[in-house]
Amino acid sequence: MAFSFSDRYLGKFISSFDYAAVIDEAKYAFDLVKNKNGQGSDFLGWVNLPYDHDMEEYERIKKAAKKIQDTCDVFLVIGIGGSYLGARAAVEFVKGNLYNEKKKDTPNIYFIGNDISSSHMRDVIELCEGKDVCINVISKSGTTTEPGIAFRVLRSMLEKKYGAAANERIFVTTDAKKGALRPQAEEYKYESFVVPDDIGGRYSVLSAVGLLPIAVAGIDLDEMFEGAKAAADKYSKNFNETNECVKYACIRNLLLRKGKNIELLASNDPSMTMFCEWWKQLYGESEGKDGKGLYPASVIYSTDLHSLGQYIQEGQRTLFETVINVNIEDNFVIEADKTNADGLNFVAGKTINYVNQQAVLGTALAHVDGNVPNIAIEITSRNAYDFGYLVYFFEFACAVSGYMLGINPFNQPGVEAYKKNMFALLGKPGYEEATKSINERLEKLSK
Ligand code: PA5
């Protein structure tokens, strides 16, 4: 793989003095991650994952994936947030966003339990009709509403179809000891895997949380770990100004201080869509607290240039973009057309990727002219190694960036607020006081 990171478009926005002003902060933040002595440091298990993971479980995951590939046409992955985004990002990154539609010898994979939509559920059940199905329910707590409801529905579907044999088709990924799914896994003898205690959801894709679905899609786990290890070797060992994780963390913090409070992760390939979603959770949940943080958003080019392009070029000047340019040589040559009705014969003889590259370049120049700073990342392949590398790059940079911002990058206190209201409205036992007060509030609002 070739991964490159460049600040070539940033000259007009960030000076060497700016860098000099934050480099000590970056060193301080880097050391907090490396020495594991910052806030939330008991959630740094992901830092060493490329070097050290439970090999017994790793081999069991590979075996389980093989069993699932051999015995089912449809694999349902139930989970939300950190228990879902990484695996889906990996499948689409490596296999393409049309993975399910492609001819292949691995099962279709549907991600469910990541919303509360009955029509999504109905559609997935319909897709299972007449098919052999396995389930991986992934939830550290085992009590999250969305995957909990989905598991109830889909487990019952499996039990109706297979009777007691359904148990062999259910795989559980949850906390080692605590959590509601652990006793169920034991009672029903579901094969189970562990969400490590020291790894939070959004940093968990290289743990059992991501590994089983990724392996079922036929993605080589060893290769993925090689990529993650290459990034860990390069970025997590030594602090220096050329460390690209450090650079990325510095640039983001500098741009934020200059009023650019929205970061767009952009890519020029639709297979990056879910990778961008994974990144949004990683950065949004890590940094958005204490009234601080960049708002992470994403766009796919050139698709979104025909919708959001206008805003990016000329709307409020609070944006910067980090572009992951997927530059993979192809031999998809555009043919000349006799009539040239669309006026596109000027690209005849060129490859589609060549055109895509000119679009990336032209867009970067236009956006920089429009005062949108651009961080340029490029990858020249999209395989398991690349995925592991990119994941580690963004995770490590996120931890450094979060500490530079002065927050704890590993907690997520704010996600409880909506749950408290929802549970109060649903009448969950233990929420009686909250139910009373929310009903009074709603009554006032309706007057
Ligand atoms: O990053 C996080 O902690 C969250 O996104 C969780 O992963 C998500 O809420 C799911 O939680 P659980 O795995 O307990 O079902």
Question: Residue 367's pLDDT is what?
Answer: 98
Q: What 8-state DSSP symbol labels residue 116?
A: -
* Ligand 1, atom 8: closest residue by C-alpha: 81
Asked if residue 89 and residue 56 are part of one domain, the reply reads yes
- Are 10 and 53 contained in the same domain? no
Q: Please state at what angle helix 221-235 crosses helix 208-216, rounded to 10 degrees.
A: 140
Q: Per-residue pLDDT tens for 7-64?
A: 999 999 999 999 999 999 999 999 999 999 999 999 999 999 999 999 999 999 999 9
CA 81 to ligand 1 center in whole angstroms: 5
Q: What pLDDT does 299 receive?
A: 98
Q: Whose CA is nearest to atom 5 of ligand 1?
A: 81
| 85 plus 27 within the same structural domain | no
Which one of 171, 202, 219 terminates a domain?
219
Q: Same structural domain for residues 100 and 53? A: yes
Distance CA 330, CA 353 (A): 6
Amino acid of residue 252: R
User: What's the CATH number where 257 sits?
Assistant: 3.40.50.10490
Domain hosting 63: range is 47-219
442, part of any domain:
no
- Closest ligand 1 atom to residue 203 Cα is 1
CB-ligand 1 contact for 204 (6 Å cutoff): no
280 Cβ below 6 A of ligand 1: no
Residues 243 and 381 in one domain: yes
Query: pLDDT band for position 178 (50/70/90)?
Result: confident
The answer, yes or no, to whether any atom of ligand 1 lies below 6 A from the CB of 144, is: yes
Residue 406 is predicted with a pLDDT of 97
Cα 344 to ligand 1 centroid, rounded to whole Å: 48
Q: Is the pLDDT of residue 1 over 80?
A: no
- 143 CA to middle of ligand 1, Å? 10
| 447: confidence class by pLDDT, cuts 50, 70, 90 | confident
Ligand 1 center–CA 18 separation, angstroms:
37
Does one domain contain both 212 and 279?
Answer: no
Q: From CA 391, how far away is CA 90, in angstroms rounded?
A: 9
The single-letter code of the amino acid at 185 is A
Identify the helix (H) or strand (E) that includes residue 333: none
Type of residue found at 211 = L
Domain boundary among 219, 242, 262: 219
| Helix, coil or strand: residue 315 | coil
Q: Is the CB of 184 under 6 A from ligand 1?
A: no
Check whether residue 186 and residue 57 sit in a common domain: yes
Q: Which of 85, 88, 111, 140 to mutate to test the pocket of ligand 1 (most atoms within 8 A of CB)?
A: 140
Which amino acid residue places its CA nearest to atom 2 of ligand 1?
201
The CA angle 251-254-260, to the nearest 5 degrees, is: 100
Beta bridge partners of 297: 264
pLDDT computed for residue 382 by the predictor: 97
The verdict on the CB of residue 83 being under 6 Å from ligand 1 is yes
Ligand 1 centroid vs 189 CA: distance in angstroms?
A: 24
CA of 210 to the centre of ligand 1 (A): 13
DSSP conformation class of 351: B
Higher-pLDDT residue of 376, 415: 376
Q: Does a structural domain hold residue 23?
A: yes
* Residue 325 belongs to a domain: yes
Q: Is 201 in the pocket of ligand 1 (CB under 6 A)?
A: yes
Does the CB atom of residue 140 touch ligand 1 within 6 A?
A: yes
Residue 286 falls inside a structural domain: yes
- Four-residue CA torsion sign, 141, 144, 149, 153: negative
What are the pLDDT digits (tens) for 210-250? 999 999 999 999 999 999 999 999 999 999 989 999 999 99
Phi and psi at residue 277, to the nearest 5° = -65, -40
Average pLDDT over the chain, rounded to whole?
97
Amino acid 150 reads A
Q: Residues 151-176: what's their mean pLDDT? A: 97
**Hey, which residues are catalytic here?**
285, 306, 419
Nearest residue (by CA) to ligand 1, atom 12, is 139
User: Are 394 and 260 contained in the same domain?
Assistant: yes
Give the pLDDT mean for 381-397.
Answer: 98
Is the same domain home to 54 and 140? yes
**Within-domain flag for 342:** yes
Q: Is 402 in the pocket of ligand 1 (CB under 6 A)?
A: no
Q: Is the pLDDT of residue 416 over 90?
A: no
Q: Would residue 425 count as lying in a domain?
A: no
Verify whether ligand 1 is closer than 6 Å to residue 139 (CB atom).
yes
Convert the pLDDT of each residue in 122-154 to its tens digit. Answer: 999 999 999 999 999 999 999 999 999 999 999
163 shares a domain with 83: yes
Protein residue with least CA distance to atom 9, ligand 1: 81
| Gap between the Cα atoms of 145 and 79, Å rounded | 10
Tell me, in angstroms, the distance from the centre of ligand 1 to residue 145's CA. Answer: 11
Q: Is 412 in the pocket of ligand 1 (CB under 6 A)?
A: yes
Same-domain check for residues 191 and 247? no
pLDDT of 134: 98
Domain count for the chain, please give it.
2
Q: Which of 219, 244, 264 is the last residue before a domain boundary?
A: 219
- Does residue 31 fall inside a structural domain? yes
Q: Is residue 162 part of a domain?
A: yes
Q: Going along 338-406, which residue ranges are E strands?
A: 374-379
pLDDT in tens, 271-296: 999 999 999 999 999 999 999 999 99
Q: Residue 217: which H helix or E strand, with range?
A: none
Atom of ligand 1 nearest to the CA of 209: 13
Say whether both 170 and 278 belong to one domain: no
| Rounded Cα gap, residues 130 and 74, in angstroms | 10
